[in-house]
Structure 1
Amino acid sequence: MPYCAEIVRFTVADADVDTFLERRHEAIKEVTAAHPALWSVPLCARRDDGTWVDVWIYETREAADAANADAENMPKFLAMVSLLDNVEIEATEMPAGAVSPI
């Protein structure tokens, strides 16, 4: 069964980067508690053009959809999202065989 990797692109005001990173950490804990099928959040990086990329991997597309549908009930997640602009989300299929053991 393939995983669902959400690749999220966005911008964050420079003054809010530290706040964003703190809120992201809290949001990940909140989403994982509510949706344990959030398998991994392995990457968050600022690109040379100032945009960010963040990768959230769920056990299934259905699990990702359920977490997204529940977003309005997760205040820490919403607090993180409130700092983001120009958000684009690409949901992709990640075959189990593509998972690296390291």
Structure 2
Amino acid sequence: MTVVRTHRYTVETGKLAQLLEQRTALIQGIRSANPAFTTATLIRQEDGTYLDIWRWESADAMGRAAEAATNFPLVGATLALTTDHDAVDGEVLDER
């Protein structure tokens, strides 16, 4: 079943361009190692926070990728550009 991991965070002042650049490289690297990673959507909310929604074909694939992420240097470097980071996982039940 398709799952998502939703990250909510604030970007450090003046760091958005760097975050977007690093995020692009991070997504490319994770996707090349994990074909079950299907989509990443970044949303800037009215309150200035961001939702970064990553879609996976299965919870198992997402879990394996999360374990491997500790060995991917851009993960920590990209997270360092954010504050108030929170993540939550969920299943996709309906899309129209």
Q: Are the equivalent residues in 2 in contact too, given 1:5–1:57 (CA < 8 A)?
A: yes
**What is the rounded CA distance, in whole Å, between the counterparts of 1:4 and 1:45 in structure 2?**
18
Deviations 1:20-62 (A, max 9, x none): 0011000000101111110111x20211111110110011011
| Pairing 1:57-76 to 2, within 5 Å after superposition | 57-76=55-74
TM-score by length of 2: 0.91
**What is the rounded CA distance, in whole Å, between the counterparts of 2:86 and 2:53 in structure 1?**
12
Q: Which one of 19, 29, 43 corresponds to residue 45 of structure 1?
A: 43
Query: Structure 1 residue 89 and structure 2 residue 84: aligned?
Result: no
**What is the rounded CA distance, in whole Å, between the counterparts of 2:70 and 2:30 in structure 1?**
11
3-state DSSP of counterpart to 2:35? coil
Q: How much has 1:99 moved relative to structure 2?
A: 4.5
Overall identity of the aligned pairs, in %: 26
Count of residues in Structure 1 that have an aligned counterpart in Structure 2: 96
Unaligned runs of 5+ in 1: none
Unaligned runs of 5+ in 2: none
Q: In structure 1, what residue type is equivalent to 2:89?
A: A
3-state DSSP of counterpart to 1:26? helix
Q: Are the equivalent residues in 2 in contact too, given 1:35–1:67 (CA < 8 A)?
A: yes
Q: In structure 2, what residue type is equivalent to 1:74?
A: F
**What is the rounded CA distance, in whole Å, between the counterparts of 2:92 and 2:24 in structure 1?**
24
